[in-house]
Structures are given as structure tokens and as C-alpha cells.
Chain A
Amino acid sequence: MSLPELEKKPACSAGSLGNYLWSDPPKEHKWADCVHCGLCLEACPTYEQLGQEQHSPRGRVHLIKSVAEGKLKVNEVFAEPVFQCLDCRACTTACPASVDVGGLIEEARGQVRQAIPLKGLKAWTSKFFLEGLFPHHGRLSAAGSLLKFYQKSGMQKMVRKTGMINIMPNHLVDMESIMPEIKTPVRKKYKQEKVIKAKGETKRVVSILSGCIMDIMFSDINESTINVLTRNGNDVTIPQNQTCCGALHVHAGDREMGRKLAKQNIEAFKNSEKVIVNAAGCGCMMKEYPELFSDDPQWQEKAKAFSAKVEDISKFLYDTGYEIPKAELKTRITYHDACHLAHGQGIRNEPRELLIHIPGVEMIQMPNSDRCCGSAGIYNLTNPEMAGAVLESKMANVPENVEMISMGNPGCMLQMAAGVQKYGRSQKVVHTVQLLDWAYQKEEDGSGDQDGAN
């Protein structure tokens, strides 16, 4: 039962540490903050489900530290708790010393993926989506057109009707059923316009991250984002050489690809003063770009300058001042805190303020609103069972008497919409800026297009 004694291994590269053999290992200063007090335990959704230390934040930190100390090796048994983590950061909020568990997990995943490369179907799927699709706007756009064709041509109806859908795994069926209606990506739509002018006097010029999935699945939210920005005196640019933020890659342990995408974005937005993001996961990643360049001081400096420009749409509007809409929406809503907004960026109050000031909007608070919904990037695809269990707890907290659930992250929107469908609920799942946009539109033309998500 004894563990291998402290083995001194030849370092494979300059940055290796203990049994971490590659550069960019989990950083000592991050785990040194953990004193093993355990106050993180109940904040962790996977610990709630499994009740096992290795699936708790402090347990994971303990294991990550043990590899650096040479007591453990980077193997499959180590990989399991490291990849079972949702990377939701709730532990960091609960932690008295704010231990950066998410950062440690991402760095550990980077080591795991190099020690145990993915094989077979998993490798193919990962390569296809993370390398072949998300970073390429043209291909994504084409995929979007295919999905659009699938929806419009009657094929979707046929697949559902004939039972062909039953050949898909359950969690993908859930996902298919809530796929939003595909519209034209804003990057394509505004390709010819260098600047989308503010309505009225220009107060600021801002750029937006149109995102990869966001612009295909939720281009209407991007549309709403542009509307609320221009409505509030902002000229908007969409730099065309921007790319996927890399969050999904970094979560999956592909830090090299993460760095590549980060560099491209840093360059793409180098002339922008503000980079406005409407996807919490992307915003959080982009604020953390400097973490990716701990071995590269030159790029780390650039990344720091870039990160300082990144802001979530809700906080940006709240901080710079925005016009409170005059039209009434008359709806009862609740708000879900996306992990990477609340825990990742500390943004909790601003979106709520935007929402409750829309005339006619009544907000019912959701208990445990900052508990993860299980989406966690593509976690719901890689760990469907755990994601499903986490979603079940989440849905139990959605108040019965609300018509809409508002939030600030597309991944959560898909997951929550799947939850609404699965548990026979009736709520419409919306993005915070959509509600604001609808209120403005209603004010302008007395209508208000509410055929958005869901």
C-alpha cells in the first residue's frame, strides 16, 4: 500500500516539476495557499454528488500537489478527478484564501493531455470540434448553414418523427431538442461595415467578441448586444480576424491551442479600447489570458494589456451608464448566475440591476442561483451523467412561477433549455441583453421581438 518514494526524474523540459514532465505545470504558489480546511467541500457540485474527497476541491488540490511532490504519477486514476471537475470556480468563492483551484485544474489537464494523449473516437471528436471547427469562422458558418438546412428543410421533423433520433445517445437527444433556430451570424452580416454607428451621439467606440458557437447558435443575442450598445452611444466594431477565445481548449487541457488562439485575438483586438463579451465563459478566459503565458514574459505583457480591455456586457452597461427602457415588458423572471460570470469574474449584481430596472419585470430570486448548471463548456458532452445530475439539482431550484430564466452565458442557456424540456417546465431561457433589447424595441416600435432562444 505504499506509494512510490520520491523519485527524481530527469526533467523532460525546462519547466517540469516533480512528476509533471512538461512545461507550464500547475503552479506552486497556487496550491501553497490551500491549508486543507475543507470549507470548499459543500460548494462543489461533484462533491455534492459523489461525496468523495478526490472529487472535492481540496482533494484535487491535494492530488495535484502530490504529483509535484513526486508521490503520484500523471496517470488515468489521477486524470479522473482532474477531468471530473466542472471548473465552475464555486470553490474559489467559498475559499477563505481564494485558492485558484480552476487555474490548477486547467494546468493539470494540460499535463494529463500530454502524458496521456486522447485515442480513438475521443481524439477524433476532440480534434474535429476543438481544432477543426471552433477556431474557423468560415467552417462554423457552413456548419450553421447545414443546421439551418436541417431545421428548415423538414429534415428535423423527419428525424424526430421517424425515430431516427433514437440512435443518438440520450444527452445528445436532449441537446438536439433544444437547438435554437439558426440565424445569420453577425460577423457575416456586418462584414462590409467597418463600424456600426451609435444611435445618436457617439460616446465611445467598442469592439465585440462575436464568439464561435455564440455567433452560429445565438446570433440573435449578438444582434441584441449590438443593439443595446449602439442604443447607448457606443460605436461597435467586429474585428474580422478574431477567433474562438480558446476556453473550451484550455478546459480540455489543450493549452497550446489556447495560446495560439489567445495570440490571434490579442492581435485582432490590438486597436480596440474595449472588448465587450456577452458569453461569461469567453470573458473569463480572455481575462485570464496572462495565465497561459507564464513562460513567455513578452506575450504575458501583451496578454495583460489585452485582458484589461475585456469586459462583460452587463458590467460595461452598468458601469458606463445606460438608458433605462421606458416600455413595459410585463414578465416574471428569475436569474441564473453563470459560474464564469459570478465565480469567475465576480459579476453578480450588475445583470440583476439591468433586469429589475426594466419596467414590468418582476424578479424572483432563485435559491443557490450561483450553483453550476452542469453545462461547463462541453462538460455536458464529455461527462453527460454528472452534468445531468448537476442539472437536476439546478432545475429543482428554478422557481415554479416564473416565465423566463435569464443568464449571461450561451453554454448555460443550452443546458438550462435542455433542463426545461427534460423536466417538463415551461420557462423561456433568455440572455440578459435580450430582455433589455426587447424593451428598447418595444419602446421604439411598440412591438418587441421575443422569438429568441428556446
Chain B
Amino acid sequence: MVTKMVQINLKTKDIHISNLAKLVSGPNAILYKDEDLLAYDCDGFTIKRHLPRAVIFPKDTHEVSQIVKYCAKHNLPFLARGAGTGLSGGAIPLNNEVIISLVRMKRLLEIDLENRRAVVEPGFVNLKLTNSISDKGYYYAPDPSSQYACTIGGNVAENAGGAHCLKYGVTTNHILGLEVVLPNGDIIEIGKNGIPDAPGYDLLGLLTGSEGTLGIVTKITVRILKNPEAKQTVLAYFDKIDDGSKAVSDIISSGIVPAALEMMDKTAIEGVEAAAFPVGHPKDIEAVLLIEVDGITAGINDQINLILDVCQKRNVREVKAARDEAERGRWWANRKTGFGAMGAISPDYLVQDGVIPRSKLPEVLAKINQISEENGLRIANIFHAGDGNLHPLVLFDSRIPGETEKAIQAGSECLKACADVGGSITGEHGVGIEKKEEMRFVFHDHEIQAQTDIRDVFNPDYLLNAGKLFPAPGRCAEVKRELK
């Protein structure tokens, strides 16, 4: 860590900033100039932008607690931020919040291989955990595509998923304990010592995925897993997207649980092949499946053969297995950088995150295609097909007046299509700002009320990350619109 950068003299009339600055140690631990704050006006969701009041960088739990106590006492809105790679706007300061950035709390505190757990600070980057233990034969399972940069604290807030959650579950299935600073500044520990199924309410489950509205996580005990003995990865190219979709359903119903089962459609393939990590997918196919199976060496080949059979029955054009780890790595890089790759074919994109029953894939994809045509915007589909988690990427150009609004509309219609077939409006990206109105597609008023009642217990003054996750109560009638 650089000890002193440019000497910043606090030149501010905002007394709260001067006071907050005294609560943190370390160089440049508070930002408050407009030019610096501008870089914090959004996260990975760029459609809504707001400037924070300040950004503050605590180095430990005590400092977080002091900051929160100060904000609570003086009625200052505040929120926590990790790497800012979230896709639903959870870290956007809608109310001119003080942003508490946790990136300086990035230590790996403990590795306990015997009990298969690790303790990290919230700013610790997801992929670094696997990198720190892979030489010993272990890994951390949740692998969101942003894992190169996103923090485990952010993963807890959003209950992040990833390609391999089909078999291994999402973040909540891997959290054993949390230290949390409550919105009044008190520090509590839940899931003590990582012993599962503690008595009392399941606060771990409640906090994980609460999108930073119930408290600020400052220490996390996670489960780590032994590397599977063997794995095999396969690419399957389909001329018809319907065949690809049906193959997905068939694979799961054949009894196999792949470690990952990913799908990309034609527009998505165009994007990833135009971007930095092309692997040579044919341009004239309608769908590619990326399938990975893992487990003990003995059963792997049988599983692969069964998958090949299924694909053949669904008229697959070509199937190939990764020749080595390097090729497997290239295929995954191609898939995992898929969202960012859209930059190569479109100036802006809006990613949606619907979930549907797998059997409805062909129907919903057809509907999304129709939405695309009606709105005059291209929609690429990159998704975790195995668990029915769709990511329609609405491509647009924010410089063209009206296009942003159209993109939001198209995204919302995609979610409606998912909800209509008995699905959900988010699989792993969270609700944030983006999908809060769409919560009404899946919950009735009294069901939303039951949840905001819980929020009010933790966050009674509603200073922490307000305006996220749930639709504003006053606007019930207005938002209860039916999309045409």
C-alpha cells in the first residue's frame, strides 16, 4: 500500500466530511471532490447515476462501526460498496449516500483445510480465494463471471451465483458465518465458528442476498471444497436454437447433474467472437452449449457419452471435448467475459436476469425474440441454461435519444415473460434499483410488506441503502401496470 500519495488537504465546508475523515486511518481514506466522486456514480449497472456525498475507506470492522454510528447519529444516508461490479445498481447512491468502500478490507484471514473453511474480509476478491488454495487441491465454488474482480462481500450481499451453481449451489450454500455491522453501528456475529444449523432464526440465510439493506458484512467464513478428481468439458453447436434448448432439458432429465450447462445464442456468439477471447465458434449456428461434468474419474466418460447421445438426438451439428486444461480455460474465458464482450458490438447493454423452468426454454426464448423485434433492439442471450437462469442482454446506444428507455422497457418485458411462465425476475444479479418495480410480477403487496417489515427491524431509520430491492409503497397503484 502506498503510504502517502498526493497530499490532500481537506478543503470542504461539509462538516460531516471533516468529522468522518477523523474516523478512518490510512492515506486518502476519504474522497469528496466532485471529480473523484464521479467515478462512484454507478456500479456495473450504468443506467441510473447519482453522486455520493463522499466515499470513505475503512481498514477494519471498528472503523466501519464508527462510520455507521456517526451516520446514524446525524441521519446521513449510507451504503456499502465492494468492487462495484454489481449488475442491478445495488451500490448506486440514489440518496447522495456516504459510500463505505470495503476494498481496503481485503485480507485472507484464515485457511482451515481440516474443517474446509476459510475466513476472509469483505473486500477479498472471489477468484483470489481459489487461487490461494488451489495448490493444496481446494477451491471456492461460487464463480460469478465477474469473479476476476468482484469481492466476496459483494457476493454475500447479492447472493451471487455463477456457472457452476447448477451442481454446487449459490453463495448462500457456501456461507458458514458472518460478522455484521448493523445499521446502528453494533457489531454482531452470526453462524459462530462456522458451525452449521445454529439454533435460533436463520440469520445467515436472511443476510445473504439482502442486497446491503440489513447490515454491512465485515468478515465472512466460507466453505471450501476439494477439487473434483476429474472433469470434462464439451462444446455442442446447434443449427436450431430450439434443438439446443431441448437438449438442455433432456440432459437434466436423463439424470445427469452437470457442473455447468451454459448456452449462448447467435447474437451472443457474434459478440464473444468479436471480442478479446474468441475461440472460433461457427458464426452460422443458432446456439452453442458449454457443458462441464466433474466428479470421480470412473463415471466421467459415461456421463459424457450420455450427453453426446442426447445432443445427437437433438440434431447437434458438432460436438467436441476440450483437449486439455488450456483449451478448457479458453472456452471458459470466452464465456465468462461474455457480458463485457458486448462492448465490441454495442456501445451499451442492459443485462437481465430471469429464471424459468427449463422445460419453458423454447417458449420464453421465442418470446424474447418477439420483444426484441417489437422494440427494435437486438437482444443477445447468454445464460446458465442448466438451472433456467436467463441473461438476455439488451443492446442499445444511450446516445440515441429514447433508446435507453426502450432498453429498460424491453428488459422489463423479458422479466414479465419469465414471471408469466412461473419463473422469477432474478437468479443471481439481485433486484437493486433495476428490478424493484418488477418485484410485483412475483409478489403481492402483502408479501412485499412482510419483507419490508423485516427490513424495518434491522434498518428502522432506513438510512442504509434506501430505495433498493422493493418498490416504493406509495407507488403501488401506478406500478401495478400490466405490460402489454
Contact = CB atoms under 8 A, between A and B. Distances in A.
Nearest to B86: A38
B340 A95 contact: yes
Contact of B343 (A53, A54, A78, A97): A97
A36 B46 contact: yes
B104 interface: yes
A38 B149 contact: yes
B342 A80 contact: no
Nearest to A69: B399
Nearest to B337: A96
Chain B, interface size category, equals 35 or more
A403 interface: no
A133 B4 CA distance: 32
Summarize B's interface: helix, strand, loop or mixed: loop
Contacts of A97: 275-276, 340-344
Contacts of B57: 51-52
A95 B148 CA distance: 11
B149 A39 contact: yes
B70 interface: no
Contacts of A42: 125, 127, 148-149
B39 interface: yes
Nearest to B81: A53
A59 B40 CA distance: 8
Contacts of A99: 343
A82 B33 CA distance: 16
A277 B337 CA distance: 33
A40 to B, nearest CB: 8
Contact of A52 (B4, B28, B96, B340): B28
Interface in A27-56: 32-43, 49-54, 56
A96 B55 CA distance: 28
A81 B275 CA distance: 27
Contacts of B53: 1
A77 interface: yes
Interface string A74-116: 0101101100100000000111111100000000000000000
Interface string B311-342: 00000000000000000000000000111111
A41 B127 CA distance: 13
B149 A41 contact: yes
Nearest to A80: B6
Interface in B147-193: 148-150
Contacts of A37: 44, 85, 146, 339-340, 343
A62 B149 contact: no
A310 interface: no
A50 B44 CA distance: 20
From A53, A62, A94, A386, residue with most partner B Cβ within 10 Å: A53
Contacts of B343: 32-35, 37, 95-97, 99
A1 B276 contact: no
Contacts of B5: 50, 84, 385-386
The 9 closest A-B pairs by CB, nearest first: A97-B343, A96-B340, A96-B337, A53-B39, A51-B103, A37-B340, A77-B35, A59-B39, A38-B85
Interface of B: 1-6, 28, 31, 33-40, 42-44, 46, 51, 53, 55, 57, 83-85, 96, 101, 103-104, 106, 123, 125, 127, 146, 148-150, 272, 275-277, 337-344, 347-349
Given A1-B96, A62-B38, 10 more contacts: A3-B51, A35-B340, A39-B85, A41-B149, A49-B1, A50-B5, A59-B39, A97-B340, A97-B343, A386-B2
28 contacts: A1-B37, A33-B347, A34-B343, A35-B46, A35-B343, A35-B348, A36-B44, A36-B46, A42-B125, A49-B2, A50-B2, A51-B57, A51-B104, A51-B106, A52-B31, A52-B101, A56-B39, A62-B39, A63-B35, A72-B34, A77-B36, A93-B276, A96-B277, A96-B343, A97-B341, A97-B343, A385-B2, A386-B2
